[in-house]
């Protein structure tokens, strides 16, 4: 991983897809991180589209990634989650 906000967003998408709660908690900012994460009812994540990035390069301390993530609903439909996330590099 080259250490960009986009790289981190992609790794977090794959962690949601693989139900890797440990990685999600590790990469979650301490100010908003829950104590635990139950992914037992996690949808079937299908794809990730990066819409926009602002800063977040290897030398930046902050960055923003706007994305659309698609998932399969239990009844067979498709859902979309759209979000604009702020990332902060610490240590």
Q: In whole angstroms, give the CA distance from residue 22 to residue 38.
A: 11
Q: CA distances (Å), 39 to each of 15, 21, 67, 72, 91, in order?
A: 10, 7, 21, 15, 28
Contact 53, 79 (CB under 8 A): no
pTM of the model: 0.89
**How confident is the model over 12-44, as pLDDT tens digits?**
999 999 999 999 999 999 999 999 999 988 899
Confidence (pLDDT) at 1: 43
**How confident is the model over 36-82, as pLDDT tens digits?**
999 988 899 999 999 999 999 988 999 999 999 999 987 888 999 99
Phi, psi of 4 (to 5 degrees): -100, 160
The CATH number of the domain covering residues in 5-88: 3.10.450.50
* Residue 65: closest CA among 53, 57, 56: 53
Segments making up each domain of the chain, as ranges:
5-88
């Amino acid at each position: 991983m080259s250490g960009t906000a986009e790289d981190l967003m992609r790794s977090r998408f794959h962690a949601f897809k693989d139900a890797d709660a440990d990685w999600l908690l590790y990469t979650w900012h301490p100010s908003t991180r829950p104590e635990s994460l139950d992914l037992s009812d996690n949808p079937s994540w299908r794809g990730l589209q990066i819409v926009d990035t602002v800063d977040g390069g290897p030398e930046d301390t902050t960055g923003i990634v706007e994305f659309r993530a698609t998932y399969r609903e239990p009844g067979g439909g498709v859902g979309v989650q759209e979000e604009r996330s702020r990332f902060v590099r610490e240590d």
